[in-house]
Every structure is written in C-alpha cells, then in structure tokens.
Amino acid sequence: MAIKRCIWKRWGLDLVSGGPPCQSFSMAGKREQNSDKNALPWEFAKFVGHVQPKLVLLENVTGILRAFKDAEGKSFHAWYEVAKVFASIGYIPLCLHVNARMAGVPQNRPRFIMIGVRNDHFKIIEPNFNEADVQLFAPSLEFYNLVKKYGAELPFGKLGYFDATKSKDLSKFENSFLHNLVGNTEVSVKEALNDLKFFNKAKPSKYVTKLNSTFDNLKTKTEIKNHELRRNSPLVKRRFRLYQVLQLIGHRHINKAVFEVLKGNTTKLEDDVWAALKCYEFLHENGELDKFDSKTEFQNYLLAHPTKKQTQKALVVDSPAPAALSIPDDACHYDENELRVLTVREMARIQSFPDSFVFRSKITTGGQMRKFEVPQYTQVGNAVPPLLGLALGNTIKNLLTKS
C-alpha cells in the first residue's frame, strides 16, 4: 500500500470518466429542472475535485444542450453550468456534440461530451498542440479565466460547443486529437443485422466481422446468445408491415394521414395518400402479402388495426437505426419476412456490442418494476455504444500522449 500511495502522489490519476444518469435531460423525459436527478453531474464534479485526475470525461444525452425554463420563464443551460463548475475546480472544459454513427456505430445516436483538462496538466501538453488543437481549446481557456474572475455569476454565452455534425466544425475534429470520433464509414442496420434474420439469412458483413474481432481477444467462434424471438400476434404483425411501408415512402404527410385513421380520429384517406400507398403489398389475414384493390378496402383495413402508439417505427434498411431504441416497442424489423420487434442481440448489434458479450437478468420488464430491475433491453439501450467508447478512449489517449 505504501508503494501504491507513492505512485499516486508522484504520478497522479490520468482519467475519471462518467455518465451521470440522464433521464431529466433527455428530450423523451419530463425535463424537470428541479429534479434530484439533475444534481448528479454536480456530484460527479465533486468527486473529480477530490481525486484531481489529469483529465475528466463526462458523457450525457444531447438533451442537456437544450435549456430548461424555470418558474419565471428564465433559461437554465445545464451543460454551461456544468462547464462552469469544472472550471471552478481547476479544469479547462472542452464541450462537444458528437454522433456515434460517425464512430462506426449503426445508430444515429448523438451525445454530449465534455473533456476537462486540469490546468497544470494543460500547461504541460499545450506546447505539443497542433493548430487544430489550439483552435479547439482557445475558447475554453478564455472561459476558464473568466470563471476564475467572475465565478458562478458569469452569464450564459461565454462558451460554445463544437459540433462534429456541422461542416464548420468537422475539420477541427478531423485534424486534431479528436479525429477518432469522426470519419468512419456510415453503417446501415442491414449490415448490422442481415446475418441474424430468421428467414433468408445472409453472411456476416464486414461490420460484424470487424466488430467481433475488435472486442474478442480470443478470436473464437461465438455462439449467438440473447437472440430469442418475442411473440407478436397476427394483428401486430400486420401493423408492423404497415410501419415498414410508411418508412419506405418516408413522407410525413402520408404518415400523419394513416395514423389519424389508426387513432380513430377519422375514417377517410385523401386520394393523394391512397395513391402513394396502393402500389405496396400489405399483410392480409390469410398471412399473404398483397395489394389492396380499392381505397375503401384499405381504409377498412386501417380501421381494423387501431393503435394509440405513434413512436414505433420500422427500421430503414440502408440507414443507421434511430436514437430512440431501448425497449422492444421502439422499432420493428425492416424485412417484410421478419414482421417482429428486434431481439436483444439485434439491439446489441446496433449498439456495437460484440456477439461474445452476454446480457443477463430478465429480458424485459414494465410498470413499477422498471424502477428496481434492469432488464436486458434496458442494459443495451442505456449503454454507451462500445465503438463510441473505444473512440473516446483513443481520444483521451491522444491527449495524454501529448505530455
């Protein structure tokens, strides 16, 4: 123990990384400013203040970038206040908006990232910065000095964040220590899932092969686990086919018109909506895919498949998956022969978990039990995608090696 204490004292801790739970910041949540859950980033900062690592990495949903409104209608910018807290304890904060799909994850998953560099360590690595590094940290350094001068009273607007999804900022990512976070070829759900289909299964794509070889050091053939089918009734399967067609058309007006019938708000479709839908095959009660002969027949079909759900969609075969993908009801498969929700393993593939990673506990749960249990679908959906984690790890490594 004495030796360990000497090493700690001499060399210090390189990194503290954390992702304080994000329910109150998520755009899918209640977004309550005074929620106890909002205090966790500040608790994280308190811990960092105790252990004083050279670098700190904070990850959260991009909802943290959207301002809250207090009772008086004033805006509260959580990410900005968090950056101020880290600056106040001696860290120069670099705030980023990134997307996991740019790190090779087959999901459109935007995240907020804050990298904080301890001031004394910053002075060591700064001489080794290239031009892009300097451009990234210049606003942060100015912000740090302002916080030292004005403290908590510093008003909003003295620091911005760099957005990897915007062309004006992308070059700074590409040419700096952040380059691992961008530049990867976009991966579609077809590339992620086609070998997991139960009908017309394909060979594993380059993405799947690379994913498994990246994280499986043993390079052994992995038995596919967590790939159990969930039961869907014939009616639900017919509705899934409808969702697939709506995604193929990809028109908001058509989508809204169909859901107005499904929700029981109307019984009629406009002629232009029917014109867009009539050329597609739908699943009939006999289990066959076929077109409808008339608008009236199709309207009756919609009325026979009512639903109040509006969030469930089919995946788009040649695109990454959407961000909201954490429970079975979030999405159904893209293949007309796979009219079902995704399995845990398929969700995990989209999140970039290797096949060797096994999820345990219940597959799913609901109601009040969600407060106490973390089922497999939730484990996948709430995780940081491993490929994004790898890219962030290499980013931190790039920064540490500058010393």
Instruction: Give 291-312 pLDDT, tens digit per residue.
Output: 999 999 999 999 999 988 767 7
How far, CA to CA in Å, does 26 sit from each of 58, 82, 144, 297, 350? 15, 16, 27, 41, 20
For the question of residue 6 being annotated catalytic, the response is no
Q: What is the pLDDT of residue 270?
A: 96
185: pLDDT confidence band, cut at 50, 70 and 90? very high
pTM, rounded to two decimals: 0.89
40: pLDDT confidence band, cut at 50, 70 and 90? confident
**Residue 316 in contact with residue 189, Cβ under 8 Å?**
yes
Average pLDDT over every residue of 368-383: 84
Q: What is the pLDDT of residue 42?
A: 84
How far, CA to CA in Å, does 399 sit from each of 95, 102, 199, 276? 15, 20, 47, 53
**Residue 39 in contact with residue 85, Cβ under 8 Å?**
no
Per mean pLDDT, which range of 11-20, 53-62, 264-273, 281-290 is the poorest? Answer: 11-20
Q: Which residue has the higher pLDDT, 330 or 398?
A: 398
Q: What is the mean pLDDT of the chain?
A: 89
22: pLDDT confidence band, cut at 50, 70 and 90? low
Q: Which residue has the higher pLDDT, 17 or 2?
A: 17
Q: Which residue has the higher pLDDT, 35 or 189?
A: 189
Q: What is the pLDDT of residue 32?
A: 54
Q: What is the pLDDT of residue 88?
A: 96
Q: What is the pLDDT of residue 337?
A: 96
Average pLDDT over every residue of 15-34: 62
Residue in 6, 22, 279, 332 annotated catalytic: 22
Q: What is the pLDDT of residue 29?
A: 47
Domains of the chain in start order, with CATH, are 2-184+386-400 (3.40.50), 229-342 (no CATH)
Residue 248 has pLDDT above 70, yes or no: yes
